[in-house]
Amino acid sequence: MSDQAFYSGLQTKLEALRDDGLFKPERVLASRQGAQVIAQDGRTLINMCANNYLGLSGDPETQKAAAAALEKYGYGLSSVRFICGTQTVHKELEARLSTFLGTEDTILYAAAFDANGGLFEPLFDENDAIISDALNHASIIDGVRLCKAARYRYANNDMADLEQQLIAAVDAGKRHKIIVTDGVFSMDGTIAQLDKIVELAQKYGALTMIDESHASGFMGATGRGTHEHCGVIGKIDIITGTLGKALGGAMGGFTSGRKEVIETLRQKSRPYLFSNTLAPMIAGASLAVLDRISASTALRDRLMDNTAYFRQEIERIGFTIKPGTHPVVPVMLFDAPVAQKFAARMFELGVLLSGFFYPVVPMGQARVRVQLSAAHTREQLDTVLAAFEQAGRELGILKNT
Ligand SMILES: *Cc1c(COP(=O)(O)O)cnc(C)c1O
């Protein structure tokens, strides 16, 4: 406590964040997660900013499955996996995820952040090349930083640039090359062009890795993910993802792929070796979620119906959105102060959503991001659309008025 300058330095930096409008206040919920939530002040809000794509976070069936696993396996393990932290439920979940994703084997982590953070260093060294999309998730960027492989970056979703970077890696004589991309980019709802990526990988002898955090459980006809959506199941070398979004929403992550890869990660991946095992109730609930979405596509179908409806109606009202099909819908307001005012007004109108401004998104690309859920009723979506129309009219930002 003797270095006062340290603390006042932090204070100054925090004030600068506030002054720049970059400070992130936390919204406190007084209810469980869902299409509707109760704020701390007791107000009921329609929630349009959770990653609760299938509506399973606050769902009673998910809760029951977690409770059953809690009863059978207890609260926790107080151990890493390899000492005494592996239960049958963890092995079952790993096997079920492999079946679901169409891979050979799967390893669980405490979070997708850990899955990505611990992926590259055990598998690649200075002789290798990692060719990474510029908009990849922070955890991929950190994981790549921890690894000695040469780094090549290609412009977001730009296949011509990806090919240039592959050529550069080949010219540099790199041994193994791996193309690394989010399956879906969460700021824009952009879907990676995995069919083209797989083609380029074959052409240049590269491996492929996708992070399916915004895809597992609902992208593709049966919810397998972006690789199903793009018709390349079985052609992606490594898949990482989270249990903390569509697949139940608690926490937990995974890496899935060939046996040799997964076995190597079990032996060498540091967030796996030196961190506690996933709580058994999460593993049990995740199994139940996978059972449920494998038995029926009803939830992902409802999510996609809601998405198509919202995308169509929001444009009809006169808003500009980034085109696409993903339940992440960026409603473009372009100007940062307008986006801020807009998000605040929507909050007053009972809609919870988040605004994004530079530097989180490029300058002049300010927006509010809507995320649809299977749990949203048509009535709730109509209420949200009416609030959009009202706020849009008040702020004079509708195209056709
Ligand atoms: C959310 C997210 C993560 C982190 O997932 P956690 O399981 O919450 O750590 C990793 N990658 C991507 C692309 C994400 O969207």
Residue 324 backbone class (left: φ over 0; alpha: ψ -120 to 50; beta: rest): left
In this prediction, residues 18-44 reach a mean pLDDT of 92
Whether 139 is in the pocket of ligand 1, judged by its Cβ within 6 Å, is yes
Render pLDDT for 132-171 as a digit per residue (tens, 0 to 9).
Answer: 999 999 999 999 999 999 999 999 999 999 999 999 999 9
Confidence of residue 399 (pLDDT cuts 50, 70, 90): confident
Of these residues, 245, 322, 326, 376, which one is catalytic? 245
Whether 214 is in the pocket of ligand 1, judged by its Cβ within 6 Å, is yes
Q: What's the whole-model pTM score?
A: 0.97
Whether 119 is in the pocket of ligand 1, judged by its Cβ within 6 Å, is no
Render pLDDT for 271-322 as a digit per residue (tens, 0 to 9).
Answer: 999 999 999 999 999 999 999 999 999 999 999 999 999 999 999 999 999 9
Q: Is 186 a catalytic residue?
A: yes
Whether 137 is in the pocket of ligand 1, judged by its Cβ within 6 Å, is yes
Query: Ligand 1 centre from 111 Cα, in Å?
Result: 7
Confidence of residue 44 (pLDDT cuts 50, 70, 90): very high
Whether 187 is in the pocket of ligand 1, judged by its Cβ within 6 Å, is no
Whether 143 is in the pocket of ligand 1, judged by its Cβ within 6 Å, is no
**Ligand 1: which residue has its CA nearest to atom 5?**
112
Confidence of residue 25 (pLDDT cuts 50, 70, 90): confident
Quote the pLDDT of residue 401: 56
Q: Is 8 a catalytic residue?
A: no
Of these residues, 98, 186, 213, 286, which one is catalytic? 186
Query: Ligand 1 centre from 164 Cα, in Å?
Result: 28
